[in-house]
């Protein structure tokens, strides 16, 4: 890890009690603004000692469930209702979130692939470095809210790394069960985006990190927002940050195996799906076919599942290219 310091500055005092709102300033010198900065909103609500929790969304800018709910909580949470601290950054990759895009339009960066980042890199890399080396050391817990974005939709679930350390895994699962989403997707250490994701950053920072896949399709629904808000409040209550009663809902703990559980198109055309979210499928089952309106006489190209499981995620746009993920599965796991 680099010893170089972040150039992102914080307008508010994270150590101060009370509610403080302002911006993270990411220096951004461009043609229209020589001495300008990107203004990334941040809210700190602190009351004495107690667990400190970092809540983030907009890591991928086109994933809106977390952005809507954290925006609401940023307004509603008051210091007098809190023991400890909640730090909210609702547009974590700010340029991506401002543009409603998965990746940043100013540097093409995918924030959840570039941790631990680079303090001297482009904005997305600077943000990753700032989160891992400045924000995470200030907190005990990190919850980063994702969804399927523009191209995928999920059965709502929390997402976590299946870390090797049993004590850490138990703490992660405690939060997962407190959140109470319908599913939890456990990614084995070797398969979660290498080490470039925010959950790996949390692990390196020595804090408990949980993420989520709360819906997607570039939209929000009352149902997914209700699961998201209830889940975040439940976690805060479970930790004792809020004094609300935990609204318990069962969570199906599942594992995801990248090799066996992801189904991809190998042809460019229109994908005709043959299964739906929630279906149980077996290895070799037909996931769908790619059809070719530009060669309507051509035989459709089948896509088969490569493992057994439950369909928990599907592609949204019908148009596919070779290499696009059309489904992913998960399977029950006993811990
Ligand atoms: Ca995501």
Last residue of one domain, picked from the residues 221, 256, 291: 256
Residue 247: predicted pLDDT? 83
- 248 Cα–ligand 1 center, Å: 25
Q: Give domain status of residue 26, yes or no.
A: yes
Expressed in angstroms and rounded, the spacing between residue 298 Cα and the centre of ligand 1 is 35
Q: Which of 93, 91, 89 is nearest to 124 (CA)?
A: 93
Instruction: Look at residue 3 in the predicted model and tell me its pLDDT.
Output: 63
Expressed in angstroms and rounded, the spacing between residue 127 Cα and the centre of ligand 1 is: 16
Examine residue 325 and state whether it is found in any structural domain, yes or no: yes
Cα–ligand 1 centroid distance for 121 (angstroms): 22
Same domain, residue pair 150 and 289: no
Distance 62 CA to ligand 1 centre (A): 8
Cα of 148 vs centre of ligand 1, distance in Å, is: 6
149 C-alpha to ligand 1 centroid (Å): 6
Ligand 1 mean position, distance from CA 153 (Å): 10
Q: Establish whether the linkage from the previous residue to 116 is cis, with ω within 30° of 0.
A: yes
∠ CA 283-284-285, rounded to 5°: 95
- Distance (angstroms) between ligand 1 centre and the Cα of 161 equals 14
CA of 193 to the centre of ligand 1 (A): 11
Of 234, 256, 278, which residue sits at a domain end?
256
Long-range contacts of 284-291 (CB under 8 A, 24+ apart): 287/263, 287/326, 287/327, 288/326, 288/327, 290/265, 290/266, 290/320
**How close is the Cα of 146 to the center of ligand 1, in Å?**
5
What token pair was written down for 119? 């303090």
* 40 strand-pairing partners: 24
Do 111 and 203 lie in one domain? The reply is: yes
Domain count, the chain: 2
Question: Quick one: pLDDT at residue 248?
Answer: 85
Q: At what angle do helices 222-239 and 166-179 cross, to 10 degrees?
A: 130
The pLDDT value recorded for residue 240 is 97
Task: Kindly state whether residue 1 falls inside one of the protein's structural domains.
Answer: no
pLDDT computed for residue 192 by the predictor:
47
pLDDT at position 190: 56
Q: Is residue 133 part of a domain?
A: yes
CA of 63 to the centre of ligand 1 (A): 7
CA dihedral of 28, 31, 35, 38, whole degrees rounded to 10: -30
DSSP characters for 108-156?
---GGGSTT--TTS-HHHHHHHHIIIIIGGG-SEEEEEE--TTTEEE--
Q: How far is the CA of 99 from the centre of ligand 1 (A)?
A: 15
Instruction: Tell me if 4 is assigned to some domain.
Output: no
Shared domain check, 200 and 315? no
The CATH code of the domain that includes 110 is 3.40.630.10
Q: From ligand 1's centre to the CA of 80, what distance in Å?
A: 33
- Please indicate, yes or no, whether residues 228 and 147 belong to a single structural domain of this protein: yes
Average pLDDT, consecutive stretches of 10 residues, N- to C-terminus, the chain (335 residues): 83 98 97 97 97 98 98 98 98 98 98 97 98 98 98 98 94 97 87 79 97 98 98 98 91 93 97 98 98 98 98 98 98 92
Residue 126 Cα to ligand 1 middle (Å): 19
Query: 319, exposed or middle or buried, with CB in 10 Å at 0-12, 13-18, 19+?
Result: exposed
CA–centroid distance, residue 300 to ligand 1 (Å): 31
Same domain assignment for residues 241 and 130: yes
Phi, psi at residue 294, to the nearest 5°? -80, -10
Q: Write out the residue range of the structural domain in which residue 289 sits.
A: 262-332
Which among 256, 276, 298 is the end of a domain? 256
DSSP E strands in the chain: the ranges are 9-10, 18-27, 37-47, 52-57, 84-89, 141-146, 152-154, 157-162, 183-188, 208-213, 252-256, 262-264, 269-273, 280-281, 286-291, 301-304, 309-315, 319-320, 325-332
pTM, 2 dp: 0.96
Q: Phi-psi region for residue 326, left (φ > 0), alpha (ψ -120 to 50) or beta?
A: alpha
d(CA 48, CA 84): 6
């Amino acid at each position: 890890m680099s010893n170089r310091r972040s150039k992102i500055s914080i307008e508010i005092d994270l150590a101060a009690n009370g509610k403080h709102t302002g911006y993270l300033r990411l220096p951004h010198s461009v043609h229209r603004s020589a001495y300008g900065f990107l203004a990334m909103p941040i809210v700190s609500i602190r009351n004495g000692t107690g667990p400190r929790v970092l809540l983030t969304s907009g890591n991928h800018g086109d994933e809106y469930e977390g952005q809507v709910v954290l925006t609401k909580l940023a307004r509603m949470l008051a210091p007098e209702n809190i023991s400890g601290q909640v730090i909210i950054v609702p547009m974590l990759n700010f340029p991506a979130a401002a543009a409603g895009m998965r990746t940043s339009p100013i540097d093409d960066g995918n924030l959840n692939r570039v941790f631990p980042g680079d303090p001297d890199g482009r904005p997305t890399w600077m943000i990753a470095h700032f989160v891992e080396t400045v924000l995470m050391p200030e907190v005990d817990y990190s919850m980063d809210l994702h969804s399927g974005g523009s191209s995928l939709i999920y059965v709502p679930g929390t997402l976590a790394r299946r870390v090797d350390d049993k004590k850490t895994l138990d703490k992660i699962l405690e939060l997962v069960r407190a959140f109470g989403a319908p599913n939890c997707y456990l990614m084995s250490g070797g398969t979660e985006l290498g080490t470039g994701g925010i959950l790996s950053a949390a692990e390196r920072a020595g804090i408990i990190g949980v993420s989520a896949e709360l819906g997607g399709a570039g939209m929000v629904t009352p149902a997914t927002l209700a699961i998201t808000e209830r889940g975040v409040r439940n976690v805060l209550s479970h930790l004792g940050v809020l004094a609300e009663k935990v609204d318990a809902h069962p969570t199906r703990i599942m594992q995801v195996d990248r090799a066996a559980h992801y189904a991809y198109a190998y042809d460019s055309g229109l994908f005709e799906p043959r299964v739906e979210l929630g279906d149980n499928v077996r290895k070799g089952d037909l996931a769908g076919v790619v059809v070719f309106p530009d060669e309507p006489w051509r035989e459709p190209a089948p896509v088969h599942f490569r493992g057994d499981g439950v369909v928990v995620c599907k592609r949204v746009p019908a148009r596919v290219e070779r290499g696009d993920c059309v489904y992913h599965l998960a399977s029950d796991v006993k811990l």
